[in-house]
A and B are shown apart, each in its own frame.
Chain A
Amino acid sequence: MKAAVIVFPGSNCDRDAADALTWVTGRPPAMVWHTSNELPNVDLIVIPGGFTHGDYLRVGAMAATAPIMGEVFRAGIRGVPVLGICNGFQILCETRLLPGALMRNASLNFICREVNLKIETTATPFTRSYPDGALVRLPIAHHDGNFFADEETLNRLEGEGRVVFRYVDKAGKRVPAANPNGSRNNIAGIANAAGNVLGLMPHPERAIDPATGGTDGTALFAGLHEALR
């Protein structure tokens, strides 16, 4: 699998994403600067977390207008897997590769902690290595992870099985107390209709090492590697 990590001014999880990809695939991904007009020929595009352009106007808004994002958009439409983590998810929503928007957390505070998640579908290249309905623990670290979409969009996402990650309690139940940020329907991550574009607020790349954050994120990268070998 050949992967590219898109780097914007203010990206700060680019190294973590690159490390995870290197560890799983055995080769470092291409790091692509935001002003580039060309994407290398890759099997996977990762948009990492961070505070691109300081997120000063609106989270992800300015990064979404970067020259490289036109290429990412076209690649996503073509079916190239695109993974947006945290700020990357926000950017994918701003580019409209994914529906909805990420708003300020309901608590108004930045939240960094581990959350329980249910993998609602394994029919994506990102989740194919997880058992059906798997419960996992991944870290979140964000100020704007409150997923919003209108009723019609939500119904479509739910109906088409495009909610991929959902905040749940330890027993796997979708309850308000398990929702860290006020997201509609406890949504933590969604895919596009074709299933090749995934955005999620939790950080799988921080959960690949038992010494630092558990290993529940490993299967996401390993699954991609297998699917795109």
Chain B
Amino acid sequence: MTGSPQITMEMVRQHGLSDDEYGFVTNTLGREPSLTELGIFSVMWSEHCSYKSSKVWLKTLPTAGPQVICGPGENAGIVDIGDGQCAIFKMESHNHPSYIEPYQGAATGVGGIMRDVFTMGARPVANLNALRFGAPEHPKTRHLVAGVVAGIGGYGNCVGIPTVGGEVGFDAAYNGNILVNAMCVGVASTDKIFYAAASGVGNPVVYVGSKTGRDGIHGATMASAEFDDATDEKRPTVQVGDPFTEKLLLEACLELMEEDAIIGIQDMGAAGLTSSSVEMADKGGVGIALDLDKVPQREIGMTAYEMMLSESQERMLMVLRPGREVDAAAIFEKWGLDFAVIGKTTDTGRLVVHHNGDLKADIPLHALGDGAPEYDRPWVEPKLAQALNIDTVPPPDSLLGALETMMGAPDLASRAWIWSQYDRTIGGDTVSPPGGDAAVVRVHGTAKGLAMSVDVTPRYCFADPREGGKQAVAECWRNITATGALPLALTDCLNFGNPERPQIMGQFAAAVTGMGEAARALAFPVVSGNVSLYNETNGEAILPTPSIGGVGLLTDIAMRCDIALKSDGDTLILIGPDGSHLGCSLYLKIIEGRGDGAPPRVDLHGEKIAGDFIRILIGEGAVNAVHDISDGGLLVAVAEMALAGNIGADIRFTNKEIASFIQAFGEDQGRYVVGVPDGGAHKVLAAARAVGVPVRLLGLAGGTELKVTGEMPISLQGLRDAHQTWLPDYMAGAQA
């Protein structure tokens, strides 16, 4: 190849390829690669693009169902929501960039996931996110929280997509590796879905969006320096997001999609031009030829290596039907965006790249796509946490005192400081904003609603990855169910440590196995996802964190439920078994300062019948408030319902076999608290017994206090203060 330096083993290593992998490269090409080719192999065979360590396990997940239109492998997953409409959604990680530069890292994470969704023809209707930060007392945590939250808001607010839900956790295991997982949900017509596959020969390959700069080029500093001695101060930094351009790109793409001009379209995300062109050509079984001189460039003197690897944001690659270039260009011109024909489809099955008239890369596409390496990495069975010896846990002085402490602790304190910085109401369709179980967004112009939730309990996953994987899926399904919606499918974002360590690979394998069991049992298939490995610092891995993002369908938003207690005199009923399990619980963590014990087991059969029963109750209007029981247990759930409705409650724990505090704070799964309007309790109890779901009468809603039999009541105002103070006070420390 013209002008390419001799490739040394040092350069190969810096590009993250093993000796074996490099041997595969030279065999495939029948020669040494050029530097540009080395860069292309490096990014396409990276864990991020190739899923080489995870694929073998991901294949075990259920991905089909009558509601599934498109499963994993495309830009995002697609489910049918009736009336010729579909929901298109995916979740993706932006962990490392967000640790380096929290504002831009989080912002570009949001931008990337929205492009994945509108690439397929959907208008994004909701953003969600799952965030994990280090211990609050860690010196970097406050700065990271402030930056990530501002970045998520800054991007989503500007584009004008409501951010409606998510979850935020703190744990010292994330001190050196925070997690920023962004999810986007869009709605499209089922007859206007766009896929990535290119087709035909001689069709124009078109670049649209922002210009290309030297953003986020990973690769090897030394190799590039040899390639161009004058690159010192040109070294790429973090990608910078431009939400304004994203908004224009969104509108321009959707406008073009109204025409019959696009054959295939793909977002330029990680590994930019390389992965987008390879994926389009590989999926369509064609070849692709690119002329990099045609690529709109922001900087002078960019090399082929830099252009192929740049991660400049807000760009798309399309293959158009021949002859449609002029119409398409006019749309992008109207929106002030670059539009350039940079190549064409071919029948060679190869990626051929020219720059300045010279050949820079010529690679058989199969080697970059399906033919990429795949590893069944060694793994060991995770060491499971021992069951908790309950006799070692003393009861608290008072249940309500313990509750107040827990509600004000970092794990459970109100996240309002965070979500008040996200525009939640834009679009006029947000029915249930953050703070409840699942967020509900109306499908514009219809009575339908999408219920969405993001869930995982990393401390469970660490103690028992398989149960933890099951629990994450079950809790997401339960949260969606608690609104009355039917859960349709999920997207996942699997955040783990270094897969080359058998212990980590064991966590991964077990968690995915558990997820698969739950997804099968609950008919809640996986339609898209992302894997983020190597989340460790100095050999210390994060807690295994398989974030689950679910989407469900409400056929009529008028028949939905939320968590707020509605009126004095409503009966509170526990659906599901009594609390009995304190292992890995927040009670243990916050009140006793202990993290031991096995996590609660997920009884998938019990989960399913309880959830199906809840959906029936909501559909019949038999209940007016529903909240799932998760972190913190039953008493925390009741407190959240009381705060949301600003109505007190008076409850008692009547199971004589189990200590009250265990009933109050046990984190047993598959459970809900429901509020039943006056006079309806008897029917609900009878109906539950008829379908074999355990139930227990808890007490009544009413007043301005929370009461537990035998204790001094606490005022809702006091509880609210405890709940709402921690996060704003903590963040105010940023400026103290």
Chain A contact residues, CB within 8 Å of chain B? 9-10, 12-13, 15-16, 19-20, 49-51, 53-56, 109-113, 139, 141, 143, 203, 205-206, 208-209, 211-213
Of the A-B pairs whose beta carbons lie under 8 Å apart in the complex, a sample of 30, sorted by A's number, is: A9-B244, A9-B248, A9-B336, A10-B244, A10-B247, A12-B159, A12-B160, A16-B426, A16-B428, A19-B428, A49-B426, A54-B243, A55-B158, A110-B157, A110-B421, A110-B422, A111-B420, A112-B157, A112-B423, A113-B420, A141-B423, A141-B426, A203-B425, A206-B425, A211-B431, A211-B442, A211-B557, A211-B558, A212-B429, A212-B430
Q: State whether A16 touches B427 (Cβ < 8 A).
A: yes
> Is B80 at the interface (CB under 8 A from chain A)?
no
Q: A212 and B158 in contact (CB under 8 A), knowing A10-B244, A110-B421, A110-B423? A: no
Least Cβ–Cβ distance between A21 and chain B, in angstroms: 12
Report the number of A-B residue pairs with Cβ-Cβ less than 8 Å: 86
Residues in B neighbouring A10, C-beta threshold 8 A = 158, 244, 247-248
Query: Closest A-chain residue to B735, C-beta based?
Result: A108
Measured CA separation A12–B308 after assembly (Å): 33
Q: A12 and B247 in contact (CB under 8 A), knowing A211-B442, A212-B442? A: yes
Q: State whether A112 touches B424 (Cβ < 8 A).
A: yes
Least Cβ–Cβ distance between B156 and chain A, in angstroms: 10
Q: State whether B428 touches A141 (Cβ < 8 A).
A: no
Query: Which chain B residues numbered 208 to 249 have a C-beta less than 8 Å away from chain A?
Result: 242-245, 247-248
Residues in B neighbouring A49, C-beta threshold 8 A = 426
Q: 1/0 per residue B237-268: CB within 8 Å of A?
A: 00000111101100000000000000000000
Q: State whether A213 touches B425 (Cβ < 8 A).
A: yes
Q: State whether A56 touches B244 (Cβ < 8 A).
A: yes
Residues in A neighbouring B244, C-beta threshold 8 A = 9-10, 51, 53-54, 56
User: Chain B contact residues: over half helix, strand or loop, or mixed?
Assistant: mixed
Residues in A neighbouring B159, C-beta threshold 8 A = 12
Measured CA separation A113–B598 after assembly (Å): 40
Q: State whether B248 touches A109 (Cβ < 8 A).
A: no
The 5 closest A-B pairs by CB, nearest first: A12-B160, A54-B244, A51-B158, A141-B423, A110-B421
Q: 1/0 per residue B327-366: CB within 8 Å of A?
A: 0000000011000000000000000000000000000000
Residues in B neighbouring A16, C-beta threshold 8 A = 426-428
When the two chains form the complex, which single residue of A50, A110, A141 contacts B425, counting CB atoms closer than 8 Å?
A141
Residues in B neighbouring A208, C-beta threshold 8 A = 428
Least Cβ–Cβ distance between B424 and chain A, in angstroms: 6
Least Cβ–Cβ distance between B334 and chain A, in angstroms: 8
Q: State whether B420 touches A13 (Cβ < 8 A).
A: no
Taking A12-B247, A112-B420 as given, write out 18 further A-B residue pairs in contact, using a Cβ cutoff of 8 Å, ordered by the A residue number. Answer: A49-B426, A50-B160, A51-B158, A51-B244, A54-B245, A55-B158, A110-B150, A110-B153, A110-B422, A111-B420, A111-B421, A112-B423, A141-B424, A203-B425, A206-B428, A212-B431, A213-B425, A213-B430
Residues in B neighbouring A110, C-beta threshold 8 A = 150, 153-154, 157, 421-423
Least Cβ–Cβ distance between B403 and chain A, in angstroms: 26
Q: State whether A109 touches B158 (Cβ < 8 A).
A: no
Measured CA separation A139–B157 after assembly (Å): 14
Least Cβ–Cβ distance between A17 and chain B, in angstroms: 10
Residues in B neighbouring A9, C-beta threshold 8 A = 244, 247-248, 335-336
Between B158, B243, B430, the greatest number of chain A beta carbons within 10 A of the residue's beta carbon is seen for B158
Residues in A neighbouring B419, C-beta threshold 8 A = 112
Residues in B neighbouring A113, C-beta threshold 8 A = 420
Least Cβ–Cβ distance between A143 and chain B, in angstroms: 7
Measured CA separation A143–B244 after assembly (Å): 15
Measured CA separation A109–B336 after assembly (Å): 29
Residues in A neighbouring B422, C-beta threshold 8 A = 110, 112
Measured CA separation A211–B153 after assembly (Å): 24
Query: Closest B-chain residue to A19, C-beta based?
Result: B428
Query: Closest A-chain residue to B156, C-beta based?
Result: A110
Least Cβ–Cβ distance between A89 and chain B, in angstroms: 16
Query: Closest B-chain residue to A50, C-beta based?
Result: B160
Residues in B neighbouring A209, C-beta threshold 8 A = 428
Q: A112 and B425 in contact (CB under 8 A), knowing A9-B335, A13-B160, A212-B430? A: yes
Measured CA separation A208–B429 after assembly (Å): 11
Q: State whether A212 touches B243 (Cβ < 8 A).
A: no
Q: State whether B160 touches A139 (Cβ < 8 A).
A: no
Measured CA separation A51–B243 after assembly (Å): 9
Query: Which chain B residues numbered 428 to 443 have a C-beta less than 8 Å away from chain A?
Result: 428-431, 442
Measured CA separation A112–B423 after assembly (Å): 5
Query: Closest A-chain residue to B423, C-beta based?
Result: A141
Between B422, B425, B430, the greatest number of chain A beta carbons within 10 A of the residue's beta carbon is seen for B425
Least Cβ–Cβ distance between B724 and chain A, in angstroms: 13
Between A54, A109, A141, the greatest number of chain B beta carbons within 10 A of the residue's beta carbon is seen for A141
Least Cβ–Cβ distance between A33 and chain B, in angstroms: 8
